[in-house]
């Protein structure tokens, strides 16, 4: 019964369509298709299109972050390699710095090197050490007498010591005297060795002067 009622209600609408010209029928068909397509696009396609665009943007952002992370990881590896290299160089330098207990024997080795090549020590005086950030300089004032060849051998031997010793402030003058002494030189210089400090020197706090009222 319901189907017959629906068919009767549609019959007038169908009769009206049949009475229309072919052009009018085409226009109605196209219009109906456009309306249905518009409804489909608005309610189904557009939301999905916007979601797709949003996902594409998220994917682009993630790709950029991944690329940045890869670059940072590569830079980190380079930095870690440089740090290891610097640590190795630092450890090697530390091994060449004498400990406090080794300083007397090192000074003796410097003195022995000079005497072995025939130099005469007129002065061999350790000075007050100068503290730096993590090491201290230990200067030794020296005055030597001998020929140029022996002085050159002495400086070379000092440079070849296992521990770091630098010869600075070298001043040479011709020694006074006759015979063999006339060809000798008088050399004044400073031998500087170093030692590692277990604790960095404490900075002196400046005392604030109280303002008189």
Burial class (CB in 10 A: 0-12, 13-18, 19+), 111: middle
Q: Between 3.40.50.720, 3.40.640.10, 3.40.50.10420, 3.30.70.60, what CATH number should domain 100-196 receive?
A: 3.30.70.60
Residue 143 contacts residue 187 (beta carbons within 8 Å): yes
Average pLDDT for 60-81: 81
4 has pLDDT over 60: no
Q: What percent of the chain has pLDDT over 90?
A: 9
- CA–CA separation, 148 and 175 (whole Å): 11
Average pLDDT, the chain: 76
Q: Which residue has the higher pLDDT, 98 or 143?
A: 143
Q: Which residue has the higher pLDDT, 170 or 31?
A: 170
Instruction: Determine if the pTM surpasses 0.85.
Output: no
* Spans of all domains in the chain: 1-96, 100-196
pLDDT at 72 (0 to 100) = 82
pLDDT at 171 (0 to 100) = 92
The angle at the Cα of 94, spanning 162 to 132, to the nearest 5 degrees, equals: 110
Structure tokens belonging to residue 140:
């030794």
Q: What is the pLDDT of residues 162-212, one digit of tens each?
A: 777 888 999 999 877 665 566 789 999 999 888 777 655 455 555 555 554
- CA–CA separation, 110 and 160 (whole Å): 11
Longest dimension (CA), the chain: 150
The Cα-based distances of 21 to 10, 26, 79 in angstroms read 19, 9, 83
pLDDT at 39 (0 to 100) = 76
Closest to 131 (Cα-Cα) out of 191, 199, 190: 199
pLDDT at 93 (0 to 100) = 58
- CA–CA separation, 86 and 58 (whole Å): 41
> Which own/partner pairs from 101-107 qualify as long-range (CB within 8 Å, at least 24 positions apart)?
102/163, 103/138, 103/193, 103/195, 106/161, 106/163, 106/165, 106/193, 107/140, 107/193
Q: Which residue has the higher pLDDT, 193 or 95?
A: 193
pLDDT at 71 (0 to 100) = 81
pLDDT at 143 (0 to 100) = 93
213 has pLDDT over 50: no
Average pLDDT for 141-154: 91
């Amino acid at each position: 019964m319901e189907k017959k009622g629906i068919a009767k209600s549609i019959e007038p609408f169908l009769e009206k369509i049949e009475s229309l010209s072919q052009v009018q029928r085409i226009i109605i068909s196209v219009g109906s298709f456009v309306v249905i397509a518009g409804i489909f696009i608005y309610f189904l396609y557009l939301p999905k299109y916007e979601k797709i665009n949003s996902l594409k943007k998220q994917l682009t952002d993630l790709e950029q972050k991944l690329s940045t992370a890869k670059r940072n990881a590569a830079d980190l590896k380079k930095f870690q390699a440089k740090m290891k290299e610097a640590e190795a160089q630092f450890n090697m330098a530390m091994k060449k710095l004498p400990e406090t207990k080794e300083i007397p024997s090192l000074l003796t080795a410097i003195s022995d090197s000079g005497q072995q090549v025939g130099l005469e020590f007129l002065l061999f005086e350790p000075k007050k050490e100068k503290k730096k950030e993590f090491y201290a300089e230990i200067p030794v004032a020296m005055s030597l007498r001998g020929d140029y060849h022996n002085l050159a051998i002495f400086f070379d031997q000092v440079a070849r010591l296992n521990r770091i010793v630098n010869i600075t402030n070298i001043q040479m003058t011709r020694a006074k005297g006759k015979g063999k002494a006339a060809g000798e030189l008088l050399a004044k210089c400073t031998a500087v060795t170093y030692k590692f400090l277990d604790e960095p020197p404490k900075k002196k706090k400046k005392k604030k002067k109280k303002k008189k009222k």
